[in-house]
A and B are shown apart, each in its own frame.
Chain A
């Protein structure tokens, strides 16, 4: 139990520190997409450069491009596009497919790498 409390304390510290420092950057601070007109949850805090540097990600791991046959095109990336341009923003009342893609991309990676937030409230944290 004491371990848990300690853990929660540390976690809270880290999170609030992260949230605080997010404001000090002018870089990308949140995951945003114009297809979400009506946000159900707080935007996930996401310091783009810091995250990718720490995680050692190539641009096109997230900003991927696929050819017509569905094969990943190496050496090309899609930074100039929003995810929703390709990933199912159309159709449903709410872009469930887009939610799915975002979650699989972020949370999926966190789960498989055993690093980064996975529980709902960890990303969609309310502003402190």
Chain B
């Protein structure tokens, strides 16, 4: 078990982070080059003011018409996205591990707060799952991958919660926790989870085109 722990917390973590950051860079650069070649007008029409205007309208709940039309989903989605970033990054246990490895640390959340945020993420994932299974249009749009991705997103939070509360199999679950998070990080750039960074470009471009060329709102 030590060998597995060492492997998962060491080399595999490096692989995951390299794939994550490398993947993001690869996707952004390859798309930038492809856009230059085949969609050159993106560069022509891009307007930072209008891009940010649009991004801001879509990042906050109730700032767009569609968001106001679906208050429950808007709130769940907003909380989900905040927690999925804030909880892991500002978790004491994670910062401690990073501090041990790299001697850097930063502000962390009280464990109780992180615990609630984790539950919120898990709850949101369950909400998304139910929505995917019960809403006909979403069900139609979903393929197996959508469910797998949802499970992969939930996995680190479920295992993290499990490990923190020291339920049975805590050591194994700690390893699974690291492993699932590594898988998640590694696939983000190469699946539709890449909306994590592409969102800013798709929304930004639509905002630019609507705002600077069409003189219309896009929210």
Residues of A within 8 A of B (CB): 4, 7-8, 11-12, 40-41, 92, 94, 96, 99-100, 103-104, 107-108, 110-111, 114-115, 117-122, 125-126
Given contacts A96-B105, A115-B2, A120 and B174 within 8 Å (CB-CB): yes
Given contacts A8-B172, A111-B2, A120-B93, A100 and B166 within 8 Å (CB-CB): no
Of A100, A107, A114, A119, the contact of B170 (CB 8 Å cutoff): A119
Given contacts A8-B168, A12-B168, A111-B2, A104 and B100 within 8 Å (CB-CB): yes
Of B2, B99, B100, B164, the contact of A121 (CB 8 Å cutoff): B164
Complex: A123 Cα to B164 Cα, angstroms = 12
Neighbouring B residues of A125 by C-beta, 8 Å: 166
Complex: A122 Cα to B5 Cα, angstroms = 13
Distance to closest chain B CB from A40 (angstroms) = 6
Q: Please classify how large the interface on chain B is, using the bins under 10, 10 to 19, 20 to 34, 35 or more.
A: 20 to 34
Contact A100 B175 (CB under 8 A): no
Contact A4 B100 (CB under 8 A): no
Closest chain B residue to A116 by CB distance? Answer: B2
Q: Is the interface of A mostly helix, strand, loop or mixed?
A: helix
Select the residue from B103, B170, B172 with max chain A CB neighbours within 10 A.
B170
Q: List 6 A-B contacts (CB under 8 A).
A: A99-B99, A104-B100, A107-B100, A110-B2, A119-B174, A122-B171
Closest chain A residue to B95 by CB distance? Answer: A96
Known: A40-B111, A100-B100, A121-B170. 12 other contacts (CB 8 A): A8-B168, A11-B171, A96-B95, A96-B105, A100-B99, A103-B96, A103-B100, A108-B100, A111-B2, A111-B6, A114-B3, A121-B164
Complex: A111 Cα to B97 Cα, angstroms = 13
Neighbouring B residues of A96 by C-beta, 8 Å: 95-96, 99, 105
Contact B111 A126 (CB under 8 A): no
Select the residue from A94, A117, A121 with max chain B CB neighbours within 10 A.
A121
Neighbouring A residues of B92 by C-beta, 8 Å: 40
Q: Is residue B87 contacting chain A, with contact meaning CB distance below 8 A? A: no
Neighbouring B residues of A8 by C-beta, 8 Å: 168-169, 171-172
Contact A4 B169 (CB under 8 A): yes
Q: Is residue B155 contacting chain A, with contact meaning CB distance below 8 A? A: no
Complex: A107 Cα to B169 Cα, angstroms = 19
Given contacts A99-B96, A111-B6, A115-B2, A121 and B168 within 8 Å (CB-CB): no
Complex: A49 Cα to B170 Cα, angstroms = 26
Contact A118 B2 (CB under 8 A): yes
Neighbouring B residues of A121 by C-beta, 8 Å: 163-164, 166, 170-171, 174
Contact A119 B2 (CB under 8 A): no
Per-residue interface assignment for chain B, residues 165 to 183, with 1 indicating a CB less than 8 Å from any chain A CB and 0 otherwise: 0101111101100000000
Which 10 residue pairs of A and B lie closest in terms of their CB atoms, listed nearest first?
A119-B174, A114-B2, A121-B166, A121-B170, A8-B169, A96-B105, A119-B171, A100-B99, A103-B100, A118-B5
Neighbouring B residues of A41 by C-beta, 8 Å: 111
Contact B96 A119 (CB under 8 A): no
